[in-house]
Amino acid sequence: MTRLLILGGTKNLGRHVVEAALRDGHEITLFNRGLTKPGLFPEAKQLIGDRATPDALEVGEWHGVIDLSGFLVGDVRRTAELLRHRVARYTFMSSIAVYASKTQPGMTEDAELLPWPAGTSDDEFTMDLYGPHKVRAERVLAEVYGERAASVRSGFVVGPYNPDFGNWGEALATGKAPECAARPDQPIQHLDARDLAAFLLRLTIDGPGGAFNAVSSTTTMAELADAWRSAVPDALPVDWDPAVDRFHLPNDGSNDGTFQLSNARAVAAGLQVRPAEKSARACVEWIKAGNTPPPPPH
Ligand SMILES: NC(=O)c1ccc[n+]([C@@H]2O[C@H](COP(=O)([O-])OP(=O)(O)OC[C@H]3O[C@@H](n4cnc5c(N)ncnc54)[C@H](OP(=O)(O)O)[C@@H]3O)[C@@H](O)[C@H]2O)c1
């Protein structure tokens, strides 16, 4: 049994992290504002607070912290410094949006990262600043924790509670055509939220530290769609020109490198990637049980 502090933990990916940690017998403390699904995990200790003023974290010791709610470098710096002598390991949920190039195939974790736009405040957020904030948050953690920090870079995270690639889960659950406003040969990487949760826990308990591309190997949208379609009998063909653009990737190759990352370092550190049809089957069953997936991320 290990004492873990989870920053976030109640919405999409975080739910899988908390469920897996509780299943493994760990003692969990959640820190969030208490707005998203309050009372979801009665077995966990709950600390209420905002990342901007994390006073509730001034007391307590944990083996590790998993940071799922770090979108601003200012927020991550506050918790990093506040917890530095009271947690052994700090695992940060970063993103594949950190890379400077969106076209170069085969990027490892050492590829060039996005610059910080001059004149921007540490607590200012726009979607254009999502990647730059993650880059700087990773650097803050490396400075404060060294090898005790891990930064996990993922992209499309799918599974129950999480968005999928548009209407795929819902379409397959209800006999409609899966829609996809992307090139059929568009490269794509993905990861089941349950595999990502297991990897986050593994790094937080045993290490190693550093940055990790936590993604599947590269496939194409057509191959991925076929894998999802194989989850149900008699799935309809994909509609590659849907009237509603729920899931869009640039068609001109300008984003292809983002989904051809090397995952070798993460796999060597223990990342396991289940086949896409297993994620699809879990999503379809979850939707058939009456759940509605959240909209795709942009
Ligand atoms: N596709 C993906 O899912 C994907 C891909 C790459 C990276 N990521 C990263 O994964 C992380 C998010 O995953 P998730 O949304 O699934 O996580 P989550 O942990 O399930 O949900 C977000 C949590 O953060 C809490 N929170 C939000 N704002 C807060 C604030 N100001 N102060 C304190 N707590 C706050 C929310 O609770 P309250 O509302 O109650 O505060 C909620 O528990 C992010 O760091 C994201 O960048 C996700």
How high is the pLDDT of residue 9? Answer: 98
182 vs 48, which has greater pLDDT?
48
Q: Which residues contact 209 (CB under 8 A, 6 or more apart)?
A: 89, 145, 146, 147, 148, 149, 150, 203
For residue 165, pLDDT beyond 90:
no
Atom 44, ligand 1: which residue's CA is nearest?
A: 68
Mean pLDDT, residues 189-207: 98
Query: What are 84-105's pLDDT values in tens digits?
Result: 999 999 999 999 999 999 999 9
User: CA 251: distance to chain centroid?
Assistant: 24
Average pLDDT score, the chain: 96
Mean pLDDT, residues 116-141: 96
User: How far does residue 117's CA lie from ligand 1's centre (Å)?
Assistant: 24
How high is the pLDDT of residue 298? Answer: 53
Q: Is 283 in the pocket of ligand 1 (CB under 6 A)?
A: no
How high is the pLDDT of residue 171? Answer: 95
Mean pLDDT, residues 254-277: 97
How high is the pLDDT of residue 297? Answer: 63
For residue 164, pLDDT beyond 60:
yes
Q: Is 297 in the pocket of ligand 1 (CB under 6 A)?
A: yes
Which domains, and CATH codes, for the chain? 3-160+188-218+254-274 (3.40.50.720)
Mean pLDDT, residues 252-256: 92
For residue 106, pLDDT beyond 60:
yes
For residue 107, pLDDT beyond 80:
yes
Q: Which residues contact 133 (CB under 8 A, 6 or more apart)?
A: 71, 72, 73, 125
Gap between the Cα atoms of 214 and 147, Å rounded: 18
Mean pLDDT, residues 116-129: 95
- Both tokens assigned to 246: 């729920």
User: How far does residue 152's CA lie from ligand 1's centre (Å)?
Assistant: 14
For residue 174, pLDDT beyond 60:
yes
Gap between the Cα atoms of 152 and 138, Å rounded: 9
Confidence of residue 162 (pLDDT cuts 50, 70, 90): confident
Q: Is 32 in the pocket of ligand 1 (CB under 6 A)?
A: yes
For residue 147, pLDDT beyond 80:
yes
How high is the pLDDT of residue 292? Answer: 87
For residue 80, pLDDT beyond 90:
yes
Mean pLDDT, residues 11-16: 96
Rg (CA), the chain: 19
- Tell me the sheet residues that pair with 89: 64
- Both tokens assigned to 228: 């999802």
Mean pLDDT, residues 54-65: 98
For residue 296, pLDDT beyond 70:
no
Pick from 155, 158, 178: which is nearest to 256 by CA?
A: 155
For the chain, give the percent of residues with pLDDT over 70: 99
User: How far does residue 101's CA lie from ligand 1's centre (Å)?
Assistant: 25
How high is the pLDDT of residue 227? Answer: 98
3-state secondary structure the chain: CCEEEEECCCCCHHHHHHHHHHHCCCEEEEEECCCCCCCCCCCCEEEECECCECHHHCCCCEEEEEECCCCCHHHHHHHHHHHCCCEEEEEEEEEHHHECCCCCCCCCCCCCECCCCCCCCCCCCCHHHHHHHHHHHHHHHHHHHHHHEEEEEECEEECCCCCCCCCHHHHHHHCCCCECECCCCCEECEEEHHHHHHHHHHHHHHCCCEEEECCCCCEEHHHHHHHHHCCCCCCCCCECCCCCCCCECCCCCCCHHHHCCCCHHHHHCCCCCCCHHHHHHHHHHHHHCCCCCCCCCC
User: How far does residue 249's CA lie from ligand 1's centre (Å)?
Assistant: 23
Q: Which amino acid is at 173?
A: A
